[in-house]
Structure 1
Amino acid sequence: MKVLVYPHAMELGGSQLNAVELAGAVRDLGHEVTVTSEPGPLVQRVVDMGLEHLELPAERRRPSPVTVRRLRSLVDERGFDVVHGYEWPPGVEAYFAAGRRRDVAATCTVMSMAVAPFLPADLSLAVGTAQIRLSVLEERFQRRAGGGRHAGRGFDPGLVNLLEPPVDLAANRPGHPTAAFRAQHGLDDPADAGLLDVVVVCRLVPELKLEGVLTAVDVVGDLARELPLRLVIVGDGSVREQVEARAAAANERAGRRAVVLTGALGDPRPAYAAASITLGMGGSALRALAFGRPLIVQGEDGFFELLTTESSRTFLRQGWYGLGGDGTATLVRILRELAADDARRKDLGDFGLHLVTERFSLEGAALLQEAIYLDALERAAGQRPQAAREAVRTVSGVVAHKVRRRRQRRRGTVATDDFNALTKRRTQR
């Protein structure tokens, strides 16, 4: 197959890292894979992997008829069999670029915590958790059930696939070198010998991340007066100054450098490997497991939970995230427990490494992705009686969404990561 992979962005982040790594793994199965995207830090990763990169303009509407035409011309010129968009705007553009051709298939992967309801129901879709897949299926079934004499027609659960965020276990593994990272960021000061580093790797943005990061800063700043803890925050973003200010206050309370901000790292593996304890959500949480360290899963509205044999069942169902909890009190309890017990930390780290190895390998995900592509091609070659109706519904849904966003911007309430912003509202129903 000839596959065109289209990530939604190219800054460091979970969905786009998955897109790039999975593109390379599918290539390694013997397929011809090309990546198209706007410029960004991850483009160099694409080039280093030996994948061809085709650039899209950074300043463009999303989704855009211009991008659809560009993708369609690439399909015509280069003979791509599959156009694969990550997150909803590239997914919509891939769908219209493929059109009704029987020799080209469109697929979409959504690793956000919510799926745009106007994505075409006849678009091959992959989501990252069993709970989200079930939610999409329920929504689509209800929509079809309310369709009068057409009720139930066109509902195809096989179009919604579960593809959990994969981890490259060859690249991410225990024992990765850390000396240069620790020296660069002053983590080896003799006065700090014996400190346990709690490492979080994330974008410093308001959506999803900020609340938990600020809670961790405050908690470690307070506990550092009695426990050998240090929080290392790896990442950058629009709220970095806010995090830095809170970290400065925490360090003043602790009387030492209890919170360290390193900025973004092109290669965060040394940070994961340097951790004694990891904190994170989504793909970052899974990547942390590959280094054999205990993991505290972060969510929103005060959610923190230690990964254990018991809690793993919840995360395998709903994803590496949660909503609601005691916030500060919970994180204090977990960090006290881990700081006091070396054997407990090792056992939990070993469990996490076993879990990610058995269930989240990149090689296994590549085989599943290959199967999704083949299924999408087979479906494209058949009859698609709902295609025209789905196209109209999707265009109407996108327009309505854009109008809502414009109104929100005028009120100053719009979120940048719009469908992740739906997570709380949908979960609380």
Structure 2
Amino acid sequence: MRILVYPHDLAVGGSQINAIDLAAGAQAAGHEVIVYGVPGPLTGYIAERGLRFLPASTTKYRPAPSRISELARIARRERIDLIHAYEWPPCLDAYYGAFLIFGVPVLCTVLSMSVSAQVPPSVPLIMGTEDLGREARARMAGPVWVIEPPIDVDRDNPSIDGQPFRTAHGIAGEDFLIVSVSRHALDLKLDSLVRAIDAVEMIGGQHRVVLALVGDGPARAALEERADGVNQRLGRRAIILCGQQLDPRGAYAAADLVVAMGSSALRTLAIGRPLIVQGEQAFSEIFEPATLTMFLNQGFYGLADDAPGAGRLAAQIERLVLDADLRRNLAEYGRQVVIQRFSLERALALQLEIYGEVIAMRSEKHVREAVKSGLRAVAVELDNHNPLAKRRKRLQALALLSAARSGRWPPTLDTGARG
């Protein structure tokens, strides 16, 4: 098979790394694979995995006629058998050109935490959780599969040495190190990062805990200011912002405990560290046998009651700080779960089967669904570029960042910044 893989962007993120790892696996299995996308920090990782990369032109809108035509030309020139697009904008770029004009099959993976209304209903779809898979099957006309975010359990393993990370950041051997590897973004991430900082402050007087935040993004300055306040009140360096690392395996390996969501949570388990899964609105749960079924259904993420403060998370951290045997048992248990359920080999075998099924399908072209999906996409873009909407979003972002710098969390925002 000749496959073109089109991630939604090439910034550092779990879903993008998953796409590249699966592409490399398909190539190793004997297929010809090209990765297409706007150049970004992960371009070097694509080269490291031995994959051919074709740069996409930059565009202001999604989907963009120039990108649609560019992708169609590539599909025809390279005799592509299948385009595997991740998230709805790349899906529509492939659908409106390569599929509608030349009949090139398109497969779309959606790892967002909702079923996208912009994806045409007949497009074959891969979702990232069982719950979302059931929801998509009820709404979509085409076939729907579930592939949970895969992990390379050979590359991510318990033998990785975490001491260089501790040494580089001045973290003593007696410090109980909590690690978060996450984009410092307002969407999805900010609530969990603020609550992690606050949880460490709550128990930092009784236990010598240190929180290392690995990552970067628009919320970094606000998080740094909040961290500085905690460090001053505790009289020690309890919160450390470490910046982005393209290969954060040493950070995971250095941890006594990791707080994470999504692919980062699964990498934690593969490397053999105990885990607290975070989400939004104060969600946090220890990964253990009692919570396994919940996470298999909803993914390694959740929503809770948005209770003020970080009391729930602080209590969960303290439980693990005080019980070394529990930490060791949960680390061993998590590694086994990942090997059995989330290994890259298992996901790759399933994905290659899906590729064969999609190529063999006689996908019909539906003008009505093409028009409807296009109108929905246009509505999203009009809102994104509407000056009033942009001003509202900017004010919401500023309000959230202001609240993240210090003080009560979550904030009470009349602007609807948390909506």
Q: What is the CA–CA distance in structure 2 between the aligned matches of 1:66 and 1:361, rounded to whole Å?
A: 37
Report what 2:346 is aligned to.
364
Structure 1 pair 103–411 and aligned structure 2 pair: CA distance change class (3 A): closer
Partner residue of 2:378? 399
Please show how residues 26-425 of structure 1 align to structure 2 within 5 Å. Answer: 26-100=26-100, 104-140=104-140, 155-156=141-142, 159-187=143-171, 192-325=172-305, 326=307, 328-379=310-361, 382=362, 384=364, 387-407=366-386, 409-413=389-393
Q: Which amino acid aligns with 2:56?
A: L
User: Which amino acid letter does the alignment assign opposite residue 212 of structure 1?
Assistant: S
Which moved further from structure 2: 193-202 or 51-60? 51-60
In structure 2, C-alpha distance between the alignment counterparts of 1:136 and 1:79, rounded to whole Å = 30
Residue identity matched to 1:257: R
Q: Which amino acid aligns with 1:56?
A: A
Report the residue type matching 1:398 in the other structure.
Answer: A
| Separation in 1, partners of 2:157, 2:245 | 17
Displacement of 1:181: 2.2
Q: TM-score, normalised by structure 1?
A: 0.88
Name the amino acid aligned to 1:170. Answer: D
Structure 2 residue matching 1:115: 3-state secondary structure:
coil
Deviation at 1:98, TM superposition (A): 2.5
Deviation per CA, 1:372-397: give whole Å up to 9, x if none: 11111111xx261x522221111111
5+ residue gaps, structure 1, are 141-154, 417-429
Report the secondary structure of 2:22's partner residue: helix
> What RMSD, in angstroms, separates the aligned Cα atoms of the two structures?
1.7
Structure 2 distance, partners of 1:23, 1:209, is 27
Q: Deviations over 1:122-176 (max 9, x none)?
A: 1111110011111222234xxxxxxxxxxxxxx34xx111011000111101011
**CA–CA distance in structure 2, aligned partners of residues 219 and 360 of structure 1:** 30
CA apart distance, 1:115? 2.4
Who is 2:415 aligned against?
A: none
**Deviation, structure 1 residue 406:** 3.4
State the one-letter code of the partner of 1:335: I
TM-score, normalised to structure 2, is 0.90
Whether the 8 Å contact between 2:72 and 2:102 is mirrored in structure 1 is no
Query: In the alignment, residue 85 of structure 1 is paired with which amino acid?
Result: A
> Cα–Cα, structure 1 residues 5 and 205, in superposed 2: closer, same or farther, change >3 Å?
same
What amino acid maps onto 1:252 in structure 2? Answer: Q
The farther-off stretch of 320-329 and 298-307 is 320-329
Give the whole-Å Cα distance in 2 for the aligned partners of 1:170 and 1:102: 39
In 2, Cα distance between the equivalents of 1:80 and 1:171? 30
Q: What is the Cα deviation at residue 103 of structure 1? A: 6.0
Cα-to-partner distance string for 1:258-301 (whole Å, 9 max, x where unaligned): 11110000101000111100111111111111011111010111
- Deviation of 1:102 after TM superposition, in Å, equals 7.5
Distance 1:291 1:76 in 2: 42
Letter in 2 for 1:171: R
Provide the rounded CA distance (Å) in 2 between the counterparts of 1:273 and 1:117: 39
SS at match of 1:288: helix
C-alpha contact (below 8 Å) 1:201/1:284 kept by paired residues: yes
Q: Distance in 1 between matches of 2:277 and 2:93?
A: 33
Distance 2:250 2:274 in 1: 16
1:170-200: CA deviations, max 9, x gaps?
110101122332222222xxxx331111111
d(CA) in 1 for partners of 2:124 and 2:211? 41
Alignment check: 8 A CA contact 1:88 1:115 kept: no
Letter of the 1:360 counterpart:
F
Q: What's the secondary structure of 1:363's corresponding residue?
A: helix
Q: Distance in 2 between matches of 1:237 and 1:169?
A: 28
The 1-side partners of 2:216 and 2:267 are apart by 18
Q: CA–CA distance in 2 between the matches of 1:410 and 1:209?
A: 21
Displacement, 1:369?
1.0
Q: Equivalents in 1 of 2:173, 2:35: separation in Å?
A: 45
Distance change in 2, residues 1:69/1:102 (3 Å): closer
Decide whether the 8 Å contact of 1:232 with 1:262 is kept in 2: yes
Q: Distance in 1 between matches of 2:173 and 2:347?
A: 40
> Number of matched residues?
393
* Equivalence for 2:409: none
Instruction: Say if 2:277 and 2:301, in contact at 8 Å, map to a contact too.
Output: yes
Q: Is the 8 A contact 2:271 2:335 kept in 1?
A: yes
Deviation at 1:118?
2.4
Give the Cα–Cα distance (whole angstroms) in 2 for the partners of residues 85 and 324 of structure 1: 31
Q: Secondary structure at the match of 1:99?
A: helix
Contact 2:105–2:363 under 8 Å retained in 1: no
Structure 1 counterpart of 2:31, one-letter code: H
Shift of 1:100: 4.0
